[in-house]
Amino acid sequence: MPKLKSGHRRHLLHLEGGRGWGNLGLCFDVRAAILLGRMAKVLVTGGTGFVGREVVRQLLSLGYQVRVLARQGAAENKFLAKYGVEGVAGGVGDRAALDRAMRGVDAVVHLVGIIVEKKGQTFHKVHVEGTENVVLAAEQAGVKRFIHMSALGRRNPDGAFSTEYHRTKALAEKVVRGSFLEWTIFRPSVVFGPGDGFVNQLAAMMRFPWTVLQLWSFPLIGGGKTLLQPVAVGDVGRAFAGSIAHSSAVGQTYDLVGAERLSLREILQEIATATGHDYVVEKFPWQLVMRSLLWALVVAIPLVLLVLALLPVILAWHSGGGLADASGGTWGAIELRSVPSTATQVSIPFPLPTSFFIVGIVVWFVTLIAALRSRKLILFDLPWSQAFLAGAVLGLLPKPPLTMGQVWMLQQDNVGEAGPAAQAFGLELKNFRQGIREYL
């Protein structure tokens, strides 16, 4: 074996795990790069995203040289500068940028994907056409090793996919499998960790001001029965980075899932506990109905008192008449005279007794205290029909918290087999309950 630099030896020892090259089965290009006295260079598409940042960190920890293709802004440039990573500005639709990014690369980790369509970014354009562009650029540049991030997704009984998201992910896999590359495909479940868009978004909706707007309640879509298998971002990063040099992973498709299968209800309960909420689960939200009535009274009582206090002035101004003294006092009665002189008089006794307003204020104060004390989080069942309606309405927002496509996805369990990937790449699979408490 040629004499290697200390950094290269550490890289090999980490990859070998003390077992020797023959047992490990290093991919040829990666092994050749190390023997030639340089670290293998890996291109990561989408390397500044949530999963991408962790993959980049894991690659660097193994001694790889890393190049990132991403649309670069202030946050992205800060990340690249922090880790000394080479960046190429561009997207998977930019063939010129892809050609520049592929120069001198030994392997590609393709992570780019979207979960919500935006103007100019459809699932087909990003997942299918984007993957076609990256695969073609890699083949033309002579790159052999290709790691692709897909997604867990099950077919309907008729063999079709229920969502465009899953259909385009499947088409992208077909593109990769039909290439001349030494490919490995990973299908992650829901990924959690610091900066994620799943747990953090749900936790944010359980904090101020969302809790107030939702009256301290949270819907369980479809009763919260959907099974998920959340996987820690650290485990995902280790799997992607560790797979590059393993020839045994070539041509394989792995589920990337956690050790636990949890229902959506259990996940929301864990997030509620981690954010300091006591909670109650209801099939029909009776407590939410009562809470809504309390807050309606909190808003309505002062409005009614204000209108009653100002009613004499409002009626007098509206009639064009004056305030007549019908009982010897300044505010004894309101006498309304129509125009012209046809007389119609309406006497309304004013003012209301001061005691009436005092009682009203006391009732309001008691109602407010009762409403504020009713702050236990209510997890309630939301039928699928109402969930689809909510997805249709919320999907119109610039950054929708829920879309109809996501509701469709929740109708199917998102689980897989944890064993193959864990055994192949030595994953310990972080516990969801403990993991979220480290950053919430």
Q: CATH code at 100?
A: 3.40.50.720
Peptide bond into 351 cis (omega under 30): yes
pLDDT at site 214 = 87
Q: Which of 349, 375, 401 is the last residue of a domain?
A: 375
Q: Do 358 and 253 lie in a common domain?
A: no
Range of the domain at 358: 286-375
As a 3-state breakdown, the chain gives helix, strand, coil percent values, each rounded to 5, of 45, 15, 40
Residue 28: inside a domain: no
pLDDT of residue 18: 35
Q: Examine the domain organization and report whether 251 and 304 are in the same domain.
A: no
**Do 178 and 314 belong to one domain?**
no
Q: For the chain, which residues score pLDDT lower than 50? A: 1-24, 34-37, 323-334, 336-339, 341-344, 346, 348
pLDDT of residue 320: 60
User: How confident is the model over 212-269, as pLDDT tens digits?
Assistant: 888 889 999 999 999 999 999 999 999 999 999 998 999 999 999 999 999 999 999 9
The answer to the question of residue 392 being in a domain is: no
Both 189 and 148 in one domain: the answer is yes
- What is the structure's pLDDT at 311? 76
211 occurs within a structural domain: no
Give the residue from 375, 403, 427 where a domain finishes: 375
pTM score, whole prediction: 0.80
193 neighbors 435 (Cβ within 8 angstroms): yes
Q: What is the pLDDT of residue 232?
A: 98
Query: Residue 161, Cβ neighbours under 10 Å: how many?
Result: 18
Structurally, the chain folds into a number of domains equal to 2
Q: Which residue, 375, 403, 425, sits at the end of a domain?
A: 375
Inside any domain, residue 205: no
Residue 244 sits in the same domain as residue 175:
yes
Residues 61 and 116 in one domain: yes
- Give the per-residue pLDDT at 371: 74
What is the per-residue pLDDT for 185? 98
Check residue 80 and give its pLDDT.
92
**Domain co-membership, 175 together with 109:** yes
The DSSP secondary structure of 12-54, one letter per residue, reads HHHHHTTS-HHHH-B-HHHHHHHHTTSPPEEEEETTTSHHHHH
Is residue 64 located within the same domain as residue 137?
A: yes
